[in-house]
Amino acid sequence: MLIFHLSDILPFCTLKQVSQQEQQAMHPLKITIVSLGSLKYPVNMSYLEGWKSQLIKLTHGASVGHLPDAEGENWEYTSSQLNSLVHANNNTSFTVALISAPLEGNYYMRRLGDKVAVLSLFEMAEIVRFSDFTVENYILRNIYELAVLYAANDALIPTDAHSWAHDDVRGCLFDMNANKSDVVFSLHQPKLCDACKARVLSKQVYSGFLPALSKELQKIKKSLYFRMSDWVKAHPILALIVAALSAISLNLIASVIFEKAKCLFPWLG
């Protein structure tokens, strides 16, 4: 006859409950991407929807085909105007709207509420493309910033109290980037700085969040061609040595192959 004590059962139940909470927490945030009006540069929505992630799942939602004239003094779209244009998808965690026009206050991203943010390509698309990044790099980088805020606050709350931005440029998701061109320093394998990591850890975020975030941010980077080009620019002498050695090696290999071929096909000689 088996006898179970309550003290034997409770730890098992607690572990099972924790495991279920972890599994539930690992479900990716469902994020809808919509476009407002005509985007100056094409955005590869298929690439974004196919992005492999444990933390986020991106879908292309219903978009606004034509925009009314901007209500801001400098042809900018105000937050109140955008609130009337963008509506949250209640079936997803939050919605990100893309627009090519400037935003109020010359920001490139504004949070409109606990479930809506607007990301502008105005000037930013040119900045990232000039630095050999893609518009998709820029979009993903900012979506991960919003995902961290959402996970830590359980909402995208647009108040200064919930702003994590810091003036110092650290290659962090929460660099202020008051100078818009500074965004490029957090586009190649962006990260969370130590202060921002500590802030996340102070919130009720599941244990696997930060490791998964770090791993996925490593995938946001320049294409191989531009990474090689940057390496050559940073090491010009070494690049010349490598090129010279490669040319010599290829010449020797070609000579050996030709001599072997002459043995097999005498008429080549």
Concatenated DSSP letters of 98-165: EESS-BGGG-SEEEEETTEEEEE-TTHHHHHHHTT--HHHHHHHHHHHHHHHHHHHSS---SGGG---
Entry pTM: 0.79
pLDDT in tens, the chain (269 residues): 444 444 454 444 444 444 444 444 568 999 999 999 999 899 999 999 999 999 999 999 988 988 999 999 888 999 999 999 999 888 999 999 999 999 999 999 999 988 999 999 999 999 999 999 999 999 999 999 999 999 998 888 766 656 789 999 999 999 999 999 999 999 999 999 999 999 999 988 888 999 999 999 999 998 765 556 555 566 678 767 776 777 777 777 877 776 677 677 666 55
Q: What's CA 76's distance to the chain center, in Å?
A: 25
